[in-house]
Structure 1
């Protein structure tokens, strides 16, 4: 079966600057791949490239690190934006001005899953950092699709809630490519761990084959 993503010895970066060299990475249907590494190691760059490569031929739900929310708009309307490319501009404008009852009910359901249903009409700019992160995740849930890409999608919520949200991600998406900062959660979620450091992929293996020493080495200079 053709993988959703296949990078073969590629150099990745931005603005003419190489961040990662000789990158080879695949993502097949049913895999949950988690990227580990220090801040600035290149995880976000790799996720951006993966999204750009897959999005033209696969429905991808994205949780970016900066959340990409519109603070002046309500939680409802921010979540609805997950499906903007399903419709034309005129329908989207009407829906954002006066959300259809079916959309409101569907959004409320995904907000309930992330614990934010009571905030459905609240402007996003009034929310806490953890709440904003959950709005971005709810937007991805509302979008749905073949694969979820998330850049530290639960970093701003507590450990108990993070675990529940990761379980919900697992249930909603057959395939996922995430960057996570919590190693224990990464081990529990992933079918493969990818370690990034020193401008390259240092390991790519099932969690059982990655030692604590391998992971510790990612966070030392």
Structure 2
């Protein structure tokens, strides 16, 4: 099955126009579990930069479920056309990610994105943005916190506490492994917060980051 976008917009925009696009697209974000009945593969997405940031390099790695073995991967490069602006990461990275997804043999059933989902000032982080455009269930897996506050996370594998912003739970601070820093999980599209946490744990073995993120990061950093 090839990639077909459900929504499209220009990528040649100003930061002000990008914010307007985010405010429009967030109306399409679904935070309910709407996954395929049979999940055969889950993908990791990560992005790096080459030539002093002038070239965006996106990597997508498809892993089999449940054994988490790489079965397909793709790398795409394109000139970087949007500046680094906090909160607008998706406009810098998604064009190359879409190219990489188009180069896969089969589209993944679920995508774990290196970055935020709903845990975003306008509730449209890169995972939400990618999910709305592609209509693929997506999850944001952040190494650091973008915004929000939380209590301490118990030092137990699988323990998590809510990440809260302005009284709203926007994500989870998840301890994927005892004795290591937690990660910041938020739903992207077509998945609930509890579903996002469950899938991140299903994709995590003996490392802090899920296997999806680890494989994609290795390929993106090449």
TM exceeds 0.5?
Answer: no
- Using structure 2 for the length normalisation, give the TM-score: 0.31
Please state which structure has a larger fraction of its residues in helix: 1
